Amino acid sequence: MPDGVRVAAAPPGEPFLGFAVVAVLALIVLAVCVVRAVPPHQRLVVADRRGRTRVRGPGLVAVWPPAARTVPVRLTPEDVVVEGIDAVTADGIGVRAAVVAQCRVADPARFAGHQGVWAALDRALEGEVRRHVAARGLAELAAAPDAVLAAPVARSQATDWGIELGPVELRDVTVAVDPRLTRWAASVAPEGQRRREDVR
């Protein structure tokens, strides 16, 4: 060895310490990628590459492999409100109505397996309202404007989508007025009446 050249020897435990630090960091990164926190009002639907699904939660759950598809599903009950539904009564009168339905996800795996469930449920409820209105005259609807609908078709479809449908209520039934009729009535109204309406 040439004079004046010294080689510093590494402390005996230094390589092991470096390896331990790297291993701990790798475990932390893996835990962040794999472990999910699922709140009590949710479930996590996990689908692997083979299409098999599992429902996990609540609490800390491990998702393996990390590449698995996950869908968080909320279980809390909620109201679905559909407004501005145009329908025609049995005596040919056009009306506009709304519907309010209480629902909750009862089967998270089935719910996560369908796309656009809430939009499809809206359409199903609209169909129930139109069938209910079409079977009744305007006088019958006016006598019970806030009826509770049986909604058998929507209930069956909701079950297929993993949703439990509660009460379905018809709301705010009003006679639909054609804007052209309104303009015509205003045009033929006496001049004095039009002035009074303008003042209002």
Picking from 92-96, 100-104, 164-168, 179-183, which range would have the lowest pLDDT averaged per residue? 179-183
Say whether pLDDT at 109 is over 70: yes
For the stretch 137-163, pLDDT in tens is 998 998 887 899 999 999 999 999 999
Which tokens sit at 152?
A: 């058998």
For the stretch 18-29, pLDDT in tens is 677 777 776 666
User: Average pLDDT, stretch 47-53?
Assistant: 82
For residues 43 and 72, what is the distance between their CA atoms, to the nearest angstrom? 6
Q: How many residues does the chain have?
A: 200
Using CA of residue 73, residue 120, residue 175, residue 173, what is the dihedral sign? negative
pLDDT at 194: 47
Q: How many other CB atoms are found less than 10 A from the CB of residue 138?
A: 17
Give the homologous superfamily in CATH for domain 78-179. Band 7 domain (3.30.479.30)
- Give the three-class secondary structure for 190: coil
User: Average pLDDT, stretch 86-95?
Assistant: 93
Q: Where are the domains of the chain?
A: 14-74, 78-179
